[in-house]
Structure 1
Amino acid sequence: MKRIATVALSVILLIGMIIVTPAAAAGCYQSGCNGQDPQVTRCVDDARNLASFRYTGGNPYLQGALLELRQSPACDAAWVRVTDGDCFGEWRPCGAVLEVQGGTAQTTEPKPGQRWTAMWSFRNYVRGCFTNPNYVTGGYVTDQCTAWR
């Protein structure tokens, strides 16, 4: 009898682990994700690419860099991830941005390797772009983008 109870308890625990979804594990949802890191909130756990492309424009520090517009269904938020490229502060200025219609653009740090923007609610239209500095305004200019999603 004790063995049957142990097996039954094990089955119940296993079913409970299967039912736990990424949404339950995520640390934010929709506008609650605005400005947050997708790694810290675990929104990366169910992330998928909506679009991606390699840079072919005129900035030598971005040549071959991969831009991915990512989205988490559990968090209902989007962000941009960039892999490769050789951006580094004011000496090799470039980067990427998650542009948000009706919201605040989220930018990456200008550094080599893999980096990502903070997230924004996927209730807004978003797109991912490579960027170059605009020395006149102090902002950025986009240089190759995904379609708005």
Structure 2
Amino acid sequence: MPAAPRPAVWATALLLACGGLAALPAAEAQAAGRCTGSGCTGKDPQTVGCGGDALTTASFSGAAVRVELRHSPACQASWARASSAPVGQILYVENTRGVRRQITVRSGQATVWTPMADATVATRACLGVADSDAVTCTSWQ
């Protein structure tokens, strides 16, 4: 006859079933070898596998360009992505801690994206002219 489960086993199972769900995305990211939060800052979302669950949380369009703030819940990180951005423009993502990651749009690039920034705080995506105040940004998310 098998032994009856001990109360500690039931308590652990209950804790994992209830409390463990809140940490599931970060745990999944770590299990898959991905980064999370500030550990993602400066990394390419495609290279480290954060693009798979990404959502567009804010965007803007003008003329032929579209700029999106992309966010990975599992990685707890965000980045900026632009389609048809003018050559020479600066695309960047920044967070409310002052972390900013940017790229310069080069010739022949139809779609570009920045390295990631920690999104455990609010982030936004911006596109503008280098060395100018002419910048357009998404709302903070």
**TM-score normalised by L of structure 1:** 0.68
- The partner residue of 1:100 within 90, 95, 98 is 95
Q: Distance in 2 between matches of 1:110 and 1:85?
A: 7
Shift of 1:131: 1.1
Give the secondary structure class of the aligned counterpart of 1:31. helix
Shift of 1:85: 2.3
Asked if the contact 1:109/1:115 (under 8 Å) is kept, the reply is: no
- 1:40-55 maps to which residues of 2 (within 5 A)? 40-55=47-62
Give the secondary structure class of the aligned counterpart of 1:32. helix
Instruction: Give the match for residue 65 of structure 1.
Output: 65
Distance 1:141 1:124, change over 3 A: farther
Q: Distance in 2 between matches of 1:30 and 1:123?
A: 6
Shift of 1:81: 0.6
Instruction: Report the identity percentage.
Output: 33
Q: Distance in 2 between matches of 1:27 and 1:68?
A: 22
Aligned residue pairs, count: 112
Instruction: Give the match for residue 80 of structure 1.
Output: 80
- 1:19-58 maps to which residues of 2 (within 5 A)? 23=29, 24-25=31-32, 27-55=34-62
Distance 1:115 1:95, change over 3 A: same
Amino acid of the structure 1 residue aligned with 2:135: D
Q: Distance in 1 between matches of 2:39 and 2:66?
A: 28
Structure 1 segments (4+ residues) deviating >4 Å: none
Asked if the contact 2:95/2:119 (under 8 Å) is kept, the reply is: no
**Unmatched tracts of structure 2, length 5 or more:** 1-26
Structure 1, residues 79-117: CA drift from partner, whole Å, max 9, x if none?
A: 001111231xxxxx2121112221321112322311101
